[in-house]
Chain A
Amino acid sequence: MSNPLLEVKDLHVEFDTYDGTAQVINGIDLIVERGETVAIVGESGCGKSVTVKTILGLLPEADISQGEILYKGENLLELSDAKRHARRGKEMSMIMQNPMSAINPVFTVGEQMLDVLKWQGQHRVGITDWVRDKFRSEAELRERAIDMLEQVDISAPERVFESYPVELSGGMRQRVLIAIALLLEPDFLIADEPGTALDVTTEANILELLDDIVEEHDTSVLYITHDLGVAREISDQLNVMYAGEIVETAPTETLFEDPQHPYTRGLLESIPQLSRGIGAGIPGKLPDYTDPPTGCRFADRCPHAETECREVVPHLRRTEPEHAAACHLFEGDPHLDRHQDAVTEFPYIGPPPWQADTDETEVDVR
């Protein structure tokens, strides 16, 4: 807790839309310690990309109505655009969710990589830099770039270096993007669904590579994925997000041993398996952000919901020393300081049915 690299406090993000204000991010808190990998998992549309793009300042159309984003103790929301831009290049790197729109189609992969190596993070280039770069040999940079492509498991790095993005397969583009993000050895890496186009073996190799880089450079990683298996593999701390709120957070292994929030449990049950087919999924869909429910945002889809759930917002409570869940099935002290006073109003509808019948942590079948 002492001196985290990134601390997001009570972040609220809204969009003006055709049907009114969409309150997409509704008060989330995140802490990324130095050298730690933190994952966010959650359903499509729950606000993962909005969260990370807000951290990087990539959403000019968003209204950040409340909150702070402290990076190395400094509130990014108060920095000038130029300063944020500089941060983004040198210290923070992002692997975007959509490879094609993040790579420039008119330049070859090599041109873009060399460009990153030469200029990225330098908003305005001074004459001394220019002279220095002139003398840094192109061949050396090229070698570095090709080596990075090789590290992300690209089998013909020279060919890919010379290729235009359209000449690459989906998975190759994604790996090029990863390679570009890693070139600068950033302090802080945000990876938004970097593995969606990759097969398990390749993804495993890339996770390993990330691991190495984290070890070597003490990089902190914020990893966005919809895949719980991947999150388990990569992260130290796991945050489960639902409809713009963090509904459960715990050290990764703890969360898998004892999933608490009904949404987390539903996600775990829906994982397709070889033997038992594709699960049914969690019935229902995300609420409308322009007219969100007043109580628990998950209540309409929750098999355990009671009237209290629809009336009172379940703030995150500390259910175990390092485990917090936002659900009225659980008791515990408020996890966040700002909810200290709200505690007496919390209804308790528990214990959770899966704990009442057995003391097993087996996932229940609805």
Chain B
Amino acid sequence: MSQPLHTDRFEYAPGDQIQDEIAVFDDKDPLLRVENLSKHFPIYEGIIKRQVAAVRAVDDVSFTVPRGQTFGLVGESGSGKTTLGRSILRITDPTHGTVEVDGTDVTSLSGGALKKQRKDMQMVFQDPSSSLNPRKTIKQIIETPMKIHDIGSAGERAQRVEELLEMVDLPREFMYKYPSSLSGGQKQRVGIARAVAVNPKLVVLDEPTSALDVSVQARVIEILNDLQKRFDLTYIFISHDLSLIKNVSDRIGVLYLGRFVETGDVDSVFQDPQHPYTRALLSAIPTVTDEDRQYKPPELTLEGEIPDPREKPTGCAFRSRCPEAFEPCAEEEPAMYQTDSTRCSRCYLHDEAYQDTGGSDDQ
């Protein structure tokens, strides 16, 4: 079922600590390369607005995505998925780190160069209602990126809008409607049409089908797959629906309080999740059939809630909820460990030094 994609590209010994997270997947010429990316939101207090703390929404995240692939981003509400997506696309300016898209360092761009680069990087926003200008018609909305980047004549653009609407299963009459007369799912599909209008290279899809029923969702996913194949698009796909993530992604990253706790090929992560948090997430997937149940790790319910990102626990950030937590977890944050050729996990259980102490889960 799962075919390790990278088996002989590098050497590893299980349990190796990884110095350079990004080297694990040794992607030659990736479309997206994110290195040590952080986004901190300062918190001010008092009359003089002194900065007292920061929400570390994204904290030192590194990964690469090969051209034409889909990277699935999962994690609880508030774990930093949207902020990571927005920082990658420079919709918000990251606090630290670099992002390279197709060889261009987008974190150092500004002005006209950044504007030009934006054509290649589009986003489907999580809240479709607030991301569509209520005073513009659907045609004007979908056309906007084409206009900004000076693509096509008025006639060509109109035709493209028609094609795009058709593609997302909306009738062409919608061109002249305003967002207020669209249903939630219809607005979401307009957002998808707008994002792919200018043939971008990289698209961040933030919960792109959350308002769609399974039937329309299936078709929208098919269209996205189709576009990906035709134009070699690269996607970052954010969703809290893990069955969906499993079906659309090549590789996934699991975020917890702004940090990756596990990354790897989607099949191996789903078949044998390494990090206790990933296991907890997967064991909560509702399943309909017995076949599906085989995919689920044994029941593992999380105690407590995701901590306040202002006050991350010391040591392992997941420690306060982890059923496996043992001594070293309280001291220092664990590094990423490469657990096999296809993924890595941020947990002391993988450290050889503790194989005997904390190994209650070793299968």
Q: Which residues of A contact B (CB under 8 A)?
A: 15, 17-19, 41-45, 48-50, 97-101, 153, 155-156, 159, 167, 169-173, 175, 193, 196-202, 204, 226-229, 266-267, 270-282, 285, 288, 290
Closest B residue to A49 by beta carbon equals: B183
Given contacts A199-B76, A273-B288, contact A18 B176 (CB under 8 A): yes
A101 to B131 CA separation, bound complex (whole angstroms):
10
For B78, give its contact among A49, A171, A276 (CB under 8 Å).
Answer: A171
Contact with A along B164-208 (1 / 0, CB 8 A): 000001010100110001011110110000000000000000110
A169 to B173 CA separation, bound complex (whole angstroms):
34
A19 to B172 CA separation, bound complex (whole angstroms):
11
Find chain B residues with CB under 8 A from A15 CB: 181
Find chain A residues with CB under 8 A from B217 CB: 270, 272, 278, 281
Tell yes or no: B270 within 8 A of A by CB: yes
A204 to B301 CA separation, bound complex (whole angstroms):
13
For B289, give its contact among A19, A101, A266, A273 (CB under 8 Å).
Answer: A273
Given contacts A44-B183, A274-B295, contact A155 B306 (CB under 8 A): yes
A310 to chain B, nearest CB (A): 20
A49 to B221 CA separation, bound complex (whole angstroms):
24
- Let me know if B292 and A170 touch, CB within 8 A: no
- Let me know if A18 and B173 touch, CB within 8 A: yes
- Let me know if B310 and A156 touch, CB within 8 A: yes
**In the complex, chain B residues 234-284 whose Cβ is within 8 Å of any chain A Cβ:** 240-244, 246-248, 270, 281, 284
- Let me know if B41 and A167 touch, CB within 8 A: yes
- Let me know if A229 and B76 touch, CB within 8 A: no
- Let me know if B207 and A44 touch, CB within 8 A: no
A229 to B186 CA separation, bound complex (whole angstroms):
22
Contact with A along B281-318 (1 / 0, CB 8 A): 10011111101101110000010011111100000000
A169 to B39 CA separation, bound complex (whole angstroms):
14
A290 to chain B, nearest CB (A): 8
Q: Which residues of B contact A (CB under 8 A)?
A: 41, 76-78, 81-83, 126-130, 169, 171, 173, 176-177, 181, 183-186, 188-189, 206-207, 210-219, 221-222, 240-244, 246-248, 270, 281, 284-289, 291-292, 294-296, 302, 305-310
- Let me know if A197 and B240 touch, CB within 8 A: yes
A147 to B184 CA separation, bound complex (whole angstroms):
30
In this complex, the member of A153, A156, A173 whose beta carbon has the largest number of chain B beta carbons within 10 angstroms is A156
In this complex, the member of B77, B212, B302, B307 whose beta carbon has the largest number of chain A beta carbons within 10 angstroms is B77
Secondary structure of the A contact surface, majority rule: loop
A173 to chain B, nearest CB (A): 8
For A200, give its contact among B41, B189, B284 (CB under 8 Å).
Answer: B284
Given contacts A15-B181, A42-B213, A199-B76, contact A275 B310 (CB under 8 A): no
- Let me know if A200 and B247 touch, CB within 8 A: no
A64 to B295 CA separation, bound complex (whole angstroms):
49
- Let me know if B129 and A196 touch, CB within 8 A: no
- Let me know if B218 and A270 touch, CB within 8 A: yes
- Let me know if A49 and B310 touch, CB within 8 A: no
- Let me know if B294 and A275 touch, CB within 8 A: yes
For B247, give its contact among A48, A173, A277, A288 (CB under 8 Å).
Answer: A277
B341 to chain A, nearest CB (A): 23
Given contacts A226-B213, A278-B247, contact A169 B77 (CB under 8 A): yes
Find chain A residues with CB under 8 A from B247 CB: 272, 277-278
A152 to chain B, nearest CB (A): 11
Closest 3 A-B residue pairs measured CB to CB? A44-B185, A171-B77, A281-B218
Closest B residue to A272 by beta carbon equals: B243
Given A273-B288, A278-B221, 7 other A-B contacts at CB below 8 A?
A: A155-B308, A199-B76, A226-B185, A272-B241, A274-B246, A275-B291, A279-B215
